A and B are shown apart, each in its own frame.
Chain A
Amino acid sequence: MSTITLSRAALERLVGKRLTDEVLEDVLVRLGISPEGFDDDKVTVETLANRPDYLSETGIARSIACMLGVRKGLRSYEARKPQFKVVVQKSVGKVRPKTACAVVTGITFTDEKIKEVVQMQEKLHQTYCRNRRKAAIGVYPLEKIAWPVSYEARVPSEIRFTPLESSREMTATQILSTHPAGQDYGNLLQGLDKFPIFIDANNNVLSMPPIINSEMTGRVTPGTTDVFIECSGFDQGVLDKLLNIIVCSLADEGGTIHSVDVEYGASKRITPDLKNASVPFSIDDVNRRLGLSLKETEVKQALAKVGIGYSARKAIVPPYRVDILHAVDIAEEIMLAVGMDNIQPLPSPVSLVAVADRCQEFKSRVASLLVGLGLLEISTYHLDSLENQTSRTNLKKPVIQLINKTNKEYSVLRASMVPSLLNVLRANKHRDYPQKIFCVGTVFGKDPKADTGISETSSLGIAISHMRADYTDARQHVEYLLRLLGIGFTLSEAEDAWAIEGRVAVLSVGKRPIATLGEVHPQVMQNWGLDMPTVVVELDLDALFDAVNER
């Protein structure tokens, strides 16, 4: 989602109608654009990620005009025959291989209009172009360019030009290290031997995509009327769409679109490609999906309201739309036109018998039994710090780590419940004792058999903390639980370094160890800053569930 601020005057001029706040808010909501706030001059909205054509006054105005019926149906765009040529050299093949270009003439650029175009360009860069990773856009005053333009790659030290917002000529290497745009986007050229440039017949660099334009040939100023536009990147389909969004927007501002010959060695492409797309769809399918019963004429009218044409079971989709991937997308367009207010809930006749997950139910039952013993349930995070899961608690289990550790406190998947319990006790030292808590959650380990390579076990942790807390407490609680579940068990001496030797037991059902219970070792208590004797039980609930089922 993208937040953009539009000029209300420009919007109304482009729609061709004055818009009251009420009308404006209503129509924006119908279009799926969230109004964030308006005044007399500005309209701030949040647009959806699938509509990069909404990142300008022109794109939104186009849809408002259709929806309000000011202009009806599909708007067609045409480009004049090419008079300009861009030659794509082999050298960009491994660097940034593709481009789509156009020329637009006859626009009076004012400060205001420049601002609008720059905002569109920036917002497109951030969203559709994935922060310039996928594609980048350059806009240049036509009058400064000597044709033909060459798109080529050169060794950085041999690229010299004065970048925008700078007063001196620099090499590409200097731009990357000292210019703000170079610092922000230089990583996109990292590791390349050669950098891509657009350069004209007079050997003047226009720009070094996706970083920056040249100050001399790449700055649109008030008074500029004609512009050259290039989109460069990796995927021809993406670049063509991107270019269409921009040139259609400029055409709506009164510009005339001219094609450009783009030569890739022997093969030639003429861009932009402003043909409408023809998307076959079934009206029955639309009605089935939406629960409506629209006739063909109604469908045609509906599509007209969202700027889409209709002809013989085909939707005619304008060239700036990037979001129509499938016939199913036409259904949504029709839904917008019909309006959500005109679609009512319908009770579903489907009647089925629900099945609860048995293990979830089992966990709830265990929790209820523990509540009966006066235990308080806590809810803890599955992410923990490496220190808590190892040294602080004297644990030796292997710990699985996150790759992106934003916060050290939450950078590993917990391997044990014990630190989660001690952490809660530490945060509650000022609360009344006795404190008896339990927690049900997942603990993680390695498991080569799982598709993730990671085991996830439901674990029950119990901690009891008071003046005279001892092994007996832990034992009584576990015995109570297993007695009521009808599970027999054996106890044997355990070695678990978080507990006091000789006061920690492993509890097994048959041969399977399912729990450890014992008194927390004073060194561990000290590590955690705890000073009230504490006993802990850690129990494998999945194993217990198995035992209950096998009984």
Chain B
Amino acid sequence: MDIQKLVDTLHPLERTVLPFIKAHASVDDLMKASKLKEVEVMRALQWLQNKGVVTLDVHESDIVRLDVNGQRYLKQGLPERRFLAALADKPLPLPRLISKADLSKEEANICIGLLRQKGAIILSKEKDLVVSLTPQGAKLRDAALPEEDFLKTEFPRQVDALPEPEKRLLQQMRSRKQLVVVEKIKSRSVRLTPLGQTLVERGVGDGKVIDALTPDMLRSGDWKQKRFRRYDLTAHVPRINGGRRHFVEEGISYIRRIWMDMGFTEMTGTLVQPAFWNLDVLFVPQDHPARDMQDTFFVEGKATIPADVAKRVKAAHEKGVGGGSGWGGEWTDDIAKQLVLRTHNTVLSARTIAALKDAPLPAKFFAVGRVFRNEALDWKHLFEFHQFEGIVVDPDANLRHLMFYLKEFYSKMGYSEVRLAPSFFPYTEPSFEVSVFHPVRKEWVELGGAGILRPEVVVPLLGKDVPVLAWGQGLERVITDYYKMNLPDMYSNDIEQLRTIKAWLR
């Protein structure tokens, strides 16, 4: 590599550190010499290593330092020193000795054990235990103890570097309470590579490298005499996070646009609905399982329902419309006035049709919004999710148009094949499950329901029987499929997920 080019890439931190690395240096030394912080030195060394200028080595080693008692004894003297000193020349009863030497009971016991082992004291039983000094003990009292010498050395010390006698001494001292601590530490050192040698010999600073362009330089034109530091253009840069819409909202925006492109007007409505609009006007019998507590969320309170529509709905349930039979049995207001969290957006279609009255037909509507089912959260179920819904109110509409709308929609969602399989819903006739052929999984995937609303639904709402094409589908399945995620992850609101998930690119 061109050495000049290399020099031009050096960051100010690298320039500061490099001259202090002779052949070999520890990070600690470099910090002292360069007066830089540890992170700065480390960053510089990391960059230099990336450029092949130095090699970083990490060693693990044991060091010893004084613990709390060690530090205390360094000032006060070791307990055994105080013990010997207090004994002076004449024997003393143990209690007096302990108080004179200012020892704890524990320390006294250690001293007795230790000094007896060394043959320095004798214990005799009189009224109290009496301690007297042996000649050996007198010698000890006047000489320095090896432990004392050790405590006085400069810490921390590398355990590996201790002379053999001190190593043995350390072993003994480690068994005493909080005297010394031995710890593992990582120490880092750095070596110059041959390239580094060349670089150091050549010198790195000629003061003519611009690190950052400043307004002053631009005004003065100083930069003309200088060179710009060259960057490592491939080096890692920290990630930034931006603001963005939730990925489900991105999907919803796309789906709204598809329906609007096809000329559908948007419907909205409340999340809490009278059972009347959510179920009864849709010809769902009053003993249908959708009314069970385990299927639908019921909300405290009681709805008011429009008497005229209710009368017609009652007749449709009990006696049918247009020569039909209805469900039979009795239809009651009370059940219709229960409040539910809407279980499908077909409730919005029902309200829209009821509001159409004498509006010109045909008319087309869609909605995208939340719906609720009384489910436990698990891998396959959410209790709150999104559905889109569409209706076409058109005297000339038929099943083949329904197939057309669904095919158009799903092809824009990335599924080119759509299949309708006969199914059953109380409010449509015929009724279908809508499946698409999954281009990757190579299988049919069931996505939603569709059909043509029954006269028992349309007549009470609109006053006449007009074909109403209708469909509805959960969004979560297409969205999880697009993002290849699991259902429970959709609304976990993990900020990391929201910051990094790919954009909706359909």
Contacts and interface: CB of A to CB of B under 8 A. Distances in A.
Interface stretch (A153-161, A366-374, A468-476): A366-374
Contact of B493 (A32, A328, A372, A428): A428
Given A290-B398, A332-B429, A346-B403, A352 B363 contact: yes
Interface string B381-400: 00110000000101011111
Contacts, number: 262
Interface string A411-447: 0010000000000100110011001110000101000
A456 B272 contact: yes
A130 B407 contact: no
Contacts of B287: 130, 133-134
Nearest to B405: A348
A49 B374 contact: no
Contact of A376 (B244, B289, B301, B423): B244
A381 B384 contact: yes
Nearest to B498: A376
A351 interface: yes
Contacts of B256: 356, 360
Given A350-B364, A352-B363, A435-B495, A343 B403 contact: yes
Contact of B249 (A280, A353, A357, A367): A367
Contacts of B302: 453
Interface string A86-115: 000000000000000000000000000000
Interface in A21-37: 29-32, 34
Residue from A130, A291, A427 having most chain B Cβ neighbours under 10 A? A291
A2 to B, nearest CB: 11
Nearest to A47: B424
A325 B429 CA distance: 11
A360 B297 contact: no
A335 B432 CA distance: 12
B173 interface: no
A266 interface: no
Contacts of B246: 377-379
Interface in B421-438: 421-424, 429-431
Contacts of A444: 272
Given A404-B374, A451-B304, A432 B241 contact: yes
Interface size class of A (residues with CB under 8 A): 35 or more
Given A367-B245, A374-B243, A437-B495, A325 B327 contact: yes
B404 A380 contact: no
A400 interface: yes
Interface string B302-316: 111100000000000
A237 interface: yes
B184 interface: no
B472 interface: no
B299 A427 contact: no
Contacts of A231: none
A48 interface: yes
Contacts of B262: 354
Given A32-B423, A237-B328, A436-B243, A413 B400 contact: no
A442 B490 CA distance: 19
Given A134-B287, A340-B422, A407-B376, A376 B495 contact: yes
B404 A404 contact: no
A328 B270 CA distance: 31
Contacts of A191: none
Contacts of A290: 398-400, 430
Interface of A: 29-32, 34, 48-51, 130, 133-134, 235, 237-238, 280, 288-291, 323, 325-329, 331-332, 335-336, 340, 343-348, 350-357, 359-360, 364, 367-368, 370-383, 400-404, 406-407, 410, 413, 424, 427-428, 431-432, 435-437, 442, 444, 450-454, 456
Interface of B: 241-246, 248-249, 253, 256, 259-268, 270-274, 287, 289, 293-294, 297-305, 320-329, 339, 341, 362-364, 370, 372, 374, 376-377, 383-384, 392, 394, 396-401, 403-405, 407, 419-424, 429-431, 452, 454-456, 467, 490-496, 498-499
Given A291-B401, A340-B420, 19 more contacts: A32-B423, A237-B329, A323-B424, A326-B455, A331-B429, A345-B400, A348-B401, A367-B249, A376-B244, A378-B493, A379-B248, A381-B384, A383-B384, A402-B297, A402-B298, A404-B293, A428-B496, A454-B301, A456-B270
5 contacts: A325-B327, A348-B401, A348-B405, A427-B494, A452-B270
